[in-house]
Amino acid sequence: MSLLEITDLSHNFGGLRAVSEFSLKVEAGELAGLIGPNGAGKTTIFNLITGLFKVSRGTIMFQGEDITRWPSHRISAAGIARTFQNIRLFKELSVLDNVRLGAYARHGYGLLDAVGRSGKFKQEEERQRQRAYELLARFHLTPYAEMPAWNLPYGEQRRVEMARALISGPRLLLLDEPAAGMNQSEAQDLIRVIREIKEEFSLTIILIEHQMRVVMNLCQWVKVLDFGETIAAGQPREIHQHPAVLAAYLGKDGALVEEGSQ
């Protein structure tokens, strides 16, 4: 049984076919890449997996369960976490609260426990708070814990998003352009961090990325999309020679990897 199995997924925006008969099989422990030019439908696929968009055609199976029509919060609780292309933190809330909210579904107490401050409440709050602080320390965010999230520099905000995604103990992590807006050395750091957390949290990762260096370095295999269609699939090394991929990105004679990056 694959961890995630998507079959014939399609999605339209009005008359525009954003995703067309997309299929994907990800085994536990893999690190897969999803690439393609802007507007190719990559983020739409993430939005379909996480229940943000309603699936009109196709099925999504996660750990053997059909999650196609589940609401987002249930999918998240089942073990799929994600980060966003344009960071979406809870800006006015503290960094600590942002991270704790990632574990919302893991707080095993009810409203009455909270109002009555029951033993269960105290125990759970303490547990999740400690877990949050562990993650803050892991991502070098401890000094920011009580600051509102908007106050942090861009790179730190990305790390908060990562901590928020990881605190729930997901099986599958969807990273939407984690290297966006990063320079070479920052991207290098990111590659290292992604490798580390994959081991530490025994994650399976699907990555959307434009920076080819990141994709080449990290992904075991890659799917290439253009206008919602899958135009190629394979190992990164094969992909960046693939004529259809080159055509989609840069026209016929383009070279996919920028000079000096190999």
Give the footprint of other proteins on this chain (CB under 8 A). Answer: 50-52, 71-74, 76-77, 81-82, 84, 88-93, 96-97, 100-107, 109, 111, 114-115, 117, 121, 124-125, 128-130, 133, 137, 142, 145-146, 164-165, 168
Whose Cβ is closer to other proteins: residue 20's or residue 94's?
A: 94
Nearer to other proteins, 121 or 249 (CB): 121
Q: How far is CA 230 from CA 10, 68, 250, in A?
A: 12, 20, 17
What is the rounded distance in angstroms from the CA atom of residue 30 to the CA atom of residue 198? 9
Report in angstroms the alpha-carbon separations of 205 from 19, 21, 172, 174, 247.
Answer: 20, 22, 6, 6, 27
For residues 172 and 212, which CB has a smaller minimum distance to other proteins in the complex?
172
CA–CA separation, 260 vs 258, rounded Å?
Answer: 7
Which of 163, 149, 178 is closest to 89 using CA atoms? 149
Which is nearer to other proteins, 106 or 195 (by Cβ)? 106
Burial classification of residue 51, based on how many CB atoms lie within 10 Å of its CB (0-12 exposed, 13-18 middle, 19 or more buried): buried
Residue 145 CB, nearest approach to other proteins (Å): 8
Our CB check for other proteins shows the closer of 41 and 51 to be 51
Phi, psi values for residue 252, rounded to 5°: -60, -45
CB of residue 192 to other proteins, shortest distance in Å: 25
Q: Cα dist. 159→28, 95, 132, 154, 184 in Å?
A: 24, 10, 13, 9, 17
The answer to whether 67 and 61 have CB atoms below 8 angstroms apart is yes
Residue 41's φ and ψ, nearest 5 degrees, are 105, 10
Smallest gap, in angstroms, from Cβ of residue 205 to other proteins? 17
Q: How far is the CB of 51 from other proteins (least distance, A)?
A: 8
How many other CB atoms are there within 10 angstroms of residue 21's CB atom? 14
Closer of 109 and 221 to other proteins (Cβ): 109
**Minimum distance from residue 191 beta carbon to other proteins (Å):** 25
State whether the Cα torsion 113-117-118-122 is positive or negative: positive
Nearer to other proteins, 97 or 229 (CB): 97
CB of 65 to other proteins, least distance (A): 16
Least gap, CB of 175 to other proteins (angstroms) = 13
